[in-house]
Every structure is written in structure tokens, then in C-alpha cells.
Amino acid sequence: MAETEGGAVTRRKRPVQRLLSANHSPPEPEKPRREAELRCHRIQESLLSSASGFSNYRGVLNWCVIMLVLGNARLFLENIIKYGILVDPIQVVSLFLKDPYSWPSLCLVLASNIFILGSLQLERRLASGGVPERVGLFLYTIILSSILCIPVLVVFTVPSITPVGAVFALSVYTILFLKLFSYKDVNLWCRERRRTQVRALGRTQSVPLIQRSSGDAGKQSGVMYPGNLSHRDIYYFMFAPTLCYELNFPRSSRIRKRFLLRRLVEMLFIMQLLVGLIQQWMVPAIQNSMKPFRDMDYSRIIERLLKLAVPNHLIWLIFFYWFFHSSMNFVAELLRFGDREFYRDWWNSETVTYFWQNWNIPVHKWCIRHFYKPMMKCGVPKWAAQTAVFFASAFFHEYLVSVPLKMFRLWAFMGMMSQIPLAWFVGRFLRGNYGNAAVWISLIIGQPVAVLMYVHDYYILNYGISS
């Protein structure tokens, strides 16, 4: 009975075991699992090594920004405690005007319309054949030379013009020089192309004043040479945020009012911020640097230089954003100017050449189009053409500093020309992050050196050694 019952019990348990075996898989072999537990290492690089391929440093970037804000906040608080509030918006007006009844800088800017209208009339005579090309080139040489020379004469002969007002006027005339140079070249290329077409046809070809491109009604109409020789066209080019002339600029479909308002608010706020930082931070640092320069105390000079480097570089970065992003985008949006590439990623520059090619796109395009490529077509070696571009840039840097200060020290010129050997050294011996660090160091240290040299010489020249 027990056996029968035991057998019955045994027979009743077997279906249960089969059910459990169906629901649960058999245990895995323990040997592979034990080997996986024994091995916990593999060949790999540390994250901070370049060979690791890791690129997500967002946390480090946030940390750098926080440390930068805290460090500058401490310096700014120390400045307030030491000097008090130095910000005075009314003082800015005196930088432009000595005599409230005299506006020499503004009058000089308004007088630039003479050169604009003169260039337009000359182009019309050249298009109609009333003026030969050689005579037109001679007259353009006079116009462009006068644009650079007349402001210099005004600055040195009119005592009421201030250095800041002179910088503003000379900047306008420098932009005018570059724009009219491009205007001359493009119209010359149009005349040459038209003469080529006439010779190819073998007969006289009359070109309509304005010829519009065929297409849908919604598409923009194109203007053909010489239909571009109008007051509206040349003044649009004068105000457009570009230095390179075209007969038909790319245009946006409409004016975005919210975008325009944001840029306007940025312009007004950042302008006040720049004025405040210069008055509160830069001016005391520069004034405290005069005595070490006078005493030739080199250790103190280096200390003052490094102290000045922080506010100078911060102000330069803020100015870059104000001018190249806020201001130029505001003007472009107002004029519906389509090309908004005013700068590229210059902050990633691993070579000095890359920085100068990408931080100021309007000037870079002008140099390539009207200076570098024409020299290359004439057979000038590449290195000589690049050196000539740096030389021209150095001339205009010195022109915009020495003339307003009424002294010639060539610090800006030598600073620009020193970029040539620096570019060779960085491109030859430094790569990647090391090259980028070298570019940043040259920007942070180079500018304060030039500022201190000019301010020191200006004070010595105008106020004497005792000041």
C-alpha cells in the first residue's frame, strides 16, 4: 500500500517536474561566467588623451565659464572698492567734441558724399565711352588718394577735432576707400566683358539700361551693366555690410521685426557696457601702468601688462560681438541684405593664417578678390602676395591709430607684420590644441602691449614725463 501510494505519489510528481522544467531554462555553464567575472580590463585610452576620441567637454566648458565669471567679478569688485564709480556717460560726449559748436568729424563724414557722387559720374562717363579707360584710371587714382589724404590734413590742421572723433571719421573714409576700389574694379570687369561680347559677335551691341531676368514674378529681378550706375544702387552699396561690390546682391524676402528689435537692444546695451568697462576697468589700469614705464621697472611692467590683458581682451570680445554680430546683422536686416557671413569659427583657429581668414570675412573677401588674386594673375609668388596683404593690413591699422593721435610710432604696423613670422612658427611647429593656444595667447597678450606703448607715447608727447 505504501509502495503503491509511493508509486502513485511518484507518478503524480513527474508532471510537476516536467512543468517546472518547461518554465525554467537549464542553468548556464558556470565556466564562461566565471571567466567574464575574472576579466574587467581592456585596451583603452584615458578620456583626456587625444587618442581616446572623446570630445564631449561640456562640463569642463561650463566650469571654465563659471571660473571666468567669478574671477572677473572679484576683479570688478576690487576695482569698485579701490576707485569708486567712474562711469560717466556725459564724458563720452567730450571725447567727440571739444567745442559744442564745432562738429569737424561729422562734417568730414558728410563731405565723403563728394567722392561717392564723383565716382558715380565717372563710371557713367566710362560706360558711355565719353572718358577713355586710361583717363578714368588716372581720375580714380586721384579720388582714392584724396580719400586717404584729405582726412589726414583735416586732423592735423583742425585743432577742435578729438582723437576719438578722428578715429570715427578715418574709419568711415577707410571703408569708403575699400568700397569705391571694389566699385571701380567690378564696373571695369563689366566693361571688359561687354567688349569681349561685342568682339565675339563682330558687331556693335547695344546694352539696355536695365535688363530684368526672366522667371516667375516672385523671383528677384536682376540688373545688367550699365543699369547699375544709379544713385540708389551706389548708396545701397555704401550702407550695405560688405566691402565687395556686386550688381545684384542676394536679398532676403522680408524684414524680420523681432530679429531687428533683438539686434537693436543688443547694440544699445552692449554699447553702454563697453563704455562702462572702459571707464571703470581699462582707464585706471592704463593710468597705473605709466609710472612703471617711466621708471623702466620691467617686473612691474609685466605685472601691469598681464593685469591689463584681462579687461582688454574681454572688451575686445564684447566689441567683436557688438560689431560683427549685432550691428552688422541689424544693418543687413534693415537693408534685406542676404549674405550674413560676417565671421566664421575663428575661435577654433589652429594657425594664425586661419584666424586672419575667418574673424573678419568682409575684409578677407575684399583682400582675396581685389588684392591677392590680381597679384597672383600677374605672376607674383604666393608668399609675396600673402606678405603684401599683411603689409596693406598693417598700413591701415597704423593709419587708424597714428593719425588720430597725431604721432607716428609704428607699433600697430610692426605688430601686424610680426604676424608673418608668428604664422610661420605656429604653422611649422605647433598643431591642434597647441596651435589654438598659441593663437589665443597672441591675441590676449599682443593687444595690451600695443595699447600701453601708444598710451605711454601719447602722454609723454602731450603731457610731459612728469605726468
Considering only the C-alpha atoms of the chain, give the largest distance between any 2 of them, rounded to a whole number of Å.
136
Measured between alpha carbons, how far is 112 from 392 in angstroms, rounded to an integer?
22
Measured between alpha carbons, how far is 55 from 52 in angstroms, rounded to an integer?
9
Measured between alpha carbons, how far is 177 from 165 in angstroms, rounded to an integer?
18
Preceding omega of 226 cis (within 30 degrees of 0): yes
Report yes or no: 446 and 397 within 8 Å, Cβ to Cβ. Answer: no
Helix axis angle, 419-429 relative to 432-463, nearest 10°?
160
DSSP per residue, 165-195: HHHHHHHHHHHHHHHHHHHHHHHHHHHHHHH
Q: Between the CA of residue 239 and those of 107, 169, 255, 337, 404, what are the distances in Å?
A: 18, 15, 16, 10, 24
Measured between alpha carbons, how far is 244 from 181 in angstroms, rounded to an integer?
9
Residues 6+ apart with CB under 8 A from 220: 248, 251
Report the candidate in 226, 223, 117 with the shortest Cα–Cα distance to residue 180.
117
In the set 24, 41, 397, 456, the catalytic residue is 397
Task: For 73, list phi and psi in degrees, rounded to 5.
Answer: -65, -40
Which residues are 337's β-sheet partners?
Answer: 251
Half-sphere exposure of 306 (CA within 13 A, CB side): 5
Measured between alpha carbons, how far is 62 from 64 in angstroms, rounded to an integer?
5
Would residue 397 show up in a list of annotated catalytic residues for this protein? yes
Question: What are the helix (H) ranges across 158-282?
Answer: 163-201, 231-239, 257-277
**C-alpha cell, 292:** 612703471
Measured between alpha carbons, how far is 108 from 167 in angstroms, rounded to an integer?
12
Measured between alpha carbons, how far is 310 from 308 in angstroms, rounded to an integer?
6
Measured between alpha carbons, how far is 246 from 182 in angstroms, rounded to an integer?
9
Report yes or no: 147 and 177 within 8 Å, Cβ to Cβ. Answer: yes
CB atoms within 10 A of CB 276: 15
Which residues are 251's β-sheet partners?
Answer: 337
Say whether 27 sits in a helix, a strand or coil: coil
Q: Which sequence positions are flagged as catalytic?
A: 397
